[in-house]
Amino acid sequence: MTIRTSISRRAAVASALAIGLSLLSPAAMAQDTSVTGTVNVIGFSGVFAENYEKFIIEPFEAKYPGIDVTYRPSKNSAETLALLTLQRGNPEIDVALIDVSVAIKANQEGLFAQLDPAKVPNIADAPDWARLDGDRAVAFSQDNLAILYNTDNVKEPPTSWNDLTDPKYKGKIAAKLGDTRGVILLPILTKLKGGDYKESIDPGMEMLKEIAPNVSTWEPAPDCYAVVQSGEVDLSICWNGRAQYLHDTQGGKIAVALPKEGSIGQTNTIGLVEGSKNKEAAELFVNYALSAEAQATFAEKSFYGPVNTKVELPDEVASRIYGSKEAQAAQMSLDWNFVADQYSPWIQRINREVIARY
């Protein structure tokens, strides 16, 4: 009996929601069968892939029943770039989801096509910083760098990036910083010390050296989340979205502290591959991926910050993506074209001046 009532209640809620949605946006329920074909998408793997298929690709296919979307997870953006390079001239991939710094590299080689605002009208809702290299790749989501902590060992969660230098965490921090995480942390720490990353990252490097004695491993294995969940370390400097997901699904051993000074997001971009054989369908997909509707759903489900300026996030979602109101106001973004040139030199400095010495 109870089972039946709960099902019928759920069904009632669902149908009420569906009616509500259809009233709000009649277009969302409309189907368009004029375009048919396949869109081959390559993108990030793991939980991202699961969420992206469920919350972006499935609704898109429902909206355009004639279009079939395939999703191919790639280990990392480097692999995606290698694949796009190899297939240049005869691409089997139509759309790529790729790290912003790698997208800029791909654009230097002309791997992405310029998006046509007539075919992809939603780019108008993207802020200027998100439209890279003359719309040859557009940012669609951001995952904030955050401090993750073990809820058993840490009773007073950190509130500030400065807490990372607290000697009570000696040997208790995992920080993989020889990649995008370091490239994002440096500007954050530089700003914290009153500097500007475009002038010099020395203040950030100095602070990193203060954090370094607390770091137990620069190469957490298997990853920066598992070492916190197992209690091997107290804190970890890593991505917010995945940690929020693990917090909700795996018993809450891991939790996220979004520092009050604000953070910077790892930026994911979407690009239409130059020479795509399914251009028309691919353009529709890119347009959908950039829509406020798609980004709001993805933000709510995966805690990746939206980029589309028309997205209004409910408070409880915003606080899990950006942190407190104070942190939300302090959220920063980077000039990625500037950072792309500094990417290797900064990582080299982190490796040589910090990791190799501590």
Partner 1 sequence: MNPAARSADGSRRVLLMLLLPGLVALGVTFVLPLLWLFRASFASSAIGAFSGGDWTLSSYETVLTDPFYWLVAWNTLVLGFNVAVFTVILSYPIALFLARTESRWRGVLTALAVAPLLTSSVVRTYGWMVILGDQGVINSTLQALSLTDGVVRLTNNSFGATVALIEIFMPYAILAMLSGFGRLNTQLEEAAAMLGANRLKVFTRIILPLSLPGVLTAALLVFVLAISAFVTPRLMGGGRVFVLGTEVYNEATVTLNWPLAAALSVLLLVLFSSVIVIYQRALRALEA
Between 111 and 286, name the residue whose CB sits nearer to partner 1.
111
Query: Minimum distance between the CB of residue 358 and partner 1, rounded to whole angstroms?
Result: 8
Query: Minimum distance between the CB of residue 277 and partner 1, rounded to whole angstroms?
Result: 20
Q: Does 152 bind partner 1 (CB under 8 A)?
A: no
Q: Does 253 bind partner 1 (CB under 8 A)?
A: no
Query: Minimum distance between the CB of residue 317 and partner 1, rounded to whole angstroms?
Result: 31
Encoded one letter per residue, x for contact with partner 1 by CB under 8 A and - for no contact, window 63-92 reads -------------x-xx-xx--xx-x----
Between 81 and 113, name the residue whose CB sits nearer to partner 1.
81
Q: Which of 171, 213, 252, 314 binds partner 1 (CB under 8 A)?
A: 171
Give the chain as a 3 state SS string: CHHHHHHHHHHHHHHHHHHHHHHHCHHHHCCCCCCCEEEEEEEECCHHHHHHHHHHHHHHHHHCCCEEEEEEEECCHHHHHHHHHHCCCCCCCCEEEEEHHHHHHHHHCCCECCCCCCCCHHHHHCCHHHEECCCCEEEEEEEEEEEEEECCCCCCCCCCHHHHHCHHHCCCEEECCCCHHHHHHHHHHHHHCCCCCCCCCHHHHHHHHHHHHHEEECCCCCCCCHHHHCCCCCEEEEEHHHHHHHHHHCCCCEEEECCCCCCEEEEEEEEEECCCCCHHHHHHHHHHHCCHHHHHHHHHHHCCEECCCCCCCCHHHHHHHHCCHHHHHHCECCCHHHHHHHHHHHHHHHHHHHHCCC
Between 198 and 352, name the residue whose CB sits nearer to partner 1.
352
Scanning 42-50, 161-169, 174-182, 189-197 for contacts with partner 1 by CB under 8 A, the matching segment is 174-182
Residues 277 to 336: which contact partner 1 by CB under 8 A?
none
Structure tokens that stand for 349 in this block: 């400095």
Q: Does 355 bind partner 1 (CB under 8 A)?
A: yes
Query: Minimum distance between the CB of residue 75 and partner 1, rounded to whole angstroms?
Result: 8
Q: Which of 58, 116, 202, 219 binds partner 1 (CB under 8 A)?
A: 219
Q: Does 102 bind partner 1 (CB under 8 A)?
A: yes
| Residue 309, amino acid | T
Query: Minimum distance between the CB of residue 114 and partner 1, rounded to whole angstroms?
Result: 19
Q: Does 242 bind partner 1 (CB under 8 A)?
A: no
Between 118 and 356, name the residue whose CB sits nearer to partner 1.
356
Between 331 and 342, name the residue whose CB sits nearer to partner 1.
342
Q: Does 109 bind partner 1 (CB under 8 A)?
A: yes
Give dist(CA 152, CA 255) in Å, integer. 10
Cα dihedral sign for 311, 259, 211, 173?
Answer: negative
Q: Does 213 bind partner 1 (CB under 8 A)?
A: no
| Residue 43, amino acid | G
CA atoms within 13 A on the CB side of 141: 29
Residues 176 to 195: which contact partner 1 by CB under 8 A?
176, 178-179
Scanning 20-28, 62-70, 172-180, 187-195 for contacts with partner 1 by CB under 8 A, the matching segment is 172-180
Q: Which residues form the interface with partner 1 (CB under 8 A)?
A: 76, 78-79, 81-82, 85-86, 88, 102, 105, 109, 171, 176, 178-179, 216-219, 221, 231-232, 343-344, 347-348, 351-352, 355-356, 358
